[in-house]
Structure 1
Amino acid sequence: MDADHDVLEELLAGNERHVTGLPEEYFGTVQTGQEPDVVTICCSDSRVPQERMWGTDGPGTVFTPSNIGNQVWDDDAGERIVDGGLLYPIHHTGTDAVAVVGHTGCGAVTAAYNAATGGDLPGPAGVSKWVELLVPVVEEALESGLIDTDADESQIINQLVEYNVEYQTQFLRAADDDVVPADLDIYGFVYDFQGVYGDEHGRAYLVTVNGETDPDVIVDDVPDSYDATVRSLLH
């Protein structure tokens, strides 16, 4: 194969390993439809393994839209509407839980922070659009008193990541009931592969449950064995 197609060869080889490693009847229960338990909207960062982080063993469990900065909205003629990739499983496959998943060291949040503090949008236009949607969130966060603006930039960014996760979940909770059903469970996590929240890299730390952000309250919603997964850089 031409050396210019090394990546293509890697993709083909990887898919071959995938096919040969699948158990018999792997897709048996989802051949004609899907009923995922949860839709997880994550940042489209190559370091955030959307299904693997939950230890899923088969297909059809997690619906996985993603975008720059794990944003639950899109822009429609200047109006923010709930993203269709998130709404599809809720309205058409019976999904009754959402997980918004940010991650430590997020480049989108960093870019929005830079723009909010006098820098330029990163470009090109398709990237800048999503970063620009985050700028008001960052600006509000910096005025909220929850961000330690005297800390080093990496700490500020990680606090902003958590703030953004909480903000995105609140946007969903504020949507009309015919768009986002009132009985939908909405969780917020920060996926930590840098040891910011604790020593376990790859842990998804729970930062909000159905609008609640106080760790002392949230911890009552999880089994005792998962108490350590409830952490916050803000509260």
Structure 2
Amino acid sequence: MAETSLTELLERNARHVESLDSDHFAGVEDTQAPVAVSICCSDSRVPHDGMWDVTHPGWLFTPSTIGNQVWDIHDGERVVDGSLLYPMINTRTNVTLVVGHTGCGAVSAALDAVQNGPGMVPAGIEKWVDLIVPVVEAGLNDERIDADRDVSLVDQLVEYNVDRQIEFLLESDDVPETETVYGFVYDFQGVYSDERGRAYLVNADGETDVAALRELAPTKYHDAVDRLLQ
């Protein structure tokens, strides 16, 4: 089992400080204007900055939620999560990325809850699993999802979940009309191909046809546009 210590944490931060140029934070110390907000799953294997090769602060706004869910509950209703809505409105990102990932534990937990009943988990986790259960239930009734495929049921549902999260954003009156929403699945397990670490474009403003999606991307990146559910 991996372990760490206070000494290691301080050493890692010291190396971080030493690696920075003197002007590393110039231009962002008092304000921020990120070009995009990327909401990923809360998972140590899914690095926001790493997957988009971000080397300087202020380029990407990076909230995470369990199951890369874009919503929260307020007064009994689903609303756009504030950590995602804030950069849209206050920093005018214009581009939102909804990033799921292969082997998602949140989708796995929701699937287990649907198939075997709710487990015993702390309330703070249970809330987020409960919010994604209806997505999994709907996915299991989608004719494109098949438990007998070579691709795992969880990975099929991960992609389905990205679609549903984007659908919610597109239907929300709180999301600015100028916002472009892309859906990706970060593959570190070789599900979409043997090229691990690739973020596959699976959705663009609700468009899920692979041919149409590839028209949006340069030809050299067509291999990075793919879907399990077609």
Tell whether 2:210 aligns with 1:215: yes
Tell whether 2:180 aligns with 1:182: no
Distance 1:97 1:150, change over 3 A: same
Q: Indicate which of 170, 173, 183 corresponds to 1:173.
A: 170
CA RMSD, 1 decimal: 1.3
- Cα deviation code 1:71-121 (max 9, x no counterpart): 000011321000000011111112111000000000000000011112323
Whether the 8 Å contact between 2:49 and 2:55 is mirrored in structure 1 is no
Q: Indicate which of 153, 178, 183 corresponds to 1:156.
A: 153
SS at match of 1:74: strand
- The alignment's TM-score, normalised by the length of structure 1, stands at 0.94
Tell whether 2:60 aligns with 1:35: no
Whether the 8 Å contact between 1:112 and 1:121 is mirrored in structure 2 is no
Matches within 5 A, 1:58-73: 58-73=56-71
1:10 to partner: Cα distance: 1.7
Which consecutive residues of structure 2, in runs of 5 or more, have no partner in the other structure?
A: none
SS at match of 2:181: strand
Equivalence for 1:143: 141
Whether the 8 Å contact between 1:111 and 1:122 is mirrored in structure 2 is no
- Tell me the amino acid that sits aligned with residue 163 of structure 2: E
- Tell me the amino acid that sits aligned with residue 202 of structure 1: G
Equivalence for 1:194: 189
Which consecutive residues of structure 1, in runs of 5 or more, have no partner in the other structure?
A: none
- Tell me the amino acid that sits aligned with residue 181 of structure 1: P
- Cα deviation code 1:122-180 (max 9, x no counterpart): 5111111101100000000111112112347x61000000000011001000001xx10
**Partners of 2:70 and 2:30 in 1: CA distance:** 28
1:6 to partner: Cα distance: 4.5
- Tell me the amino acid that sits aligned with residue 14 of structure 2: E
1:11 to partner: Cα distance: 1.3
Report how many residues are paired.
228
**Partners of 1:112 and 1:219 in 2: CA distance:** 31
**Partners of 1:146 and 1:78 in 2: CA distance:** 31
SS at match of 2:69: coil
Where do 4+ consecutive residues of structure 1 move more than 4 Å? Answer: none
1:181 to partner: Cα distance: 1.2
1:195 to partner: Cα distance: 0.4
Distance 1:48 1:6, change over 3 A: closer
Distance 1:122 1:207, change over 3 A: farther
SS at match of 1:69: helix
Whether the 8 Å contact between 1:186 and 1:209 is mirrored in structure 2 is yes
**Partners of 2:177 and 2:65 in 1: CA distance:** 24
Equivalence for 1:226: 221
Whether the 8 Å contact between 1:121 and 1:132 is mirrored in structure 2 is no
**Partners of 1:146 and 1:83 in 2: CA distance:** 29
Matches within 5 A, 1:37-116: 37-116=35-114
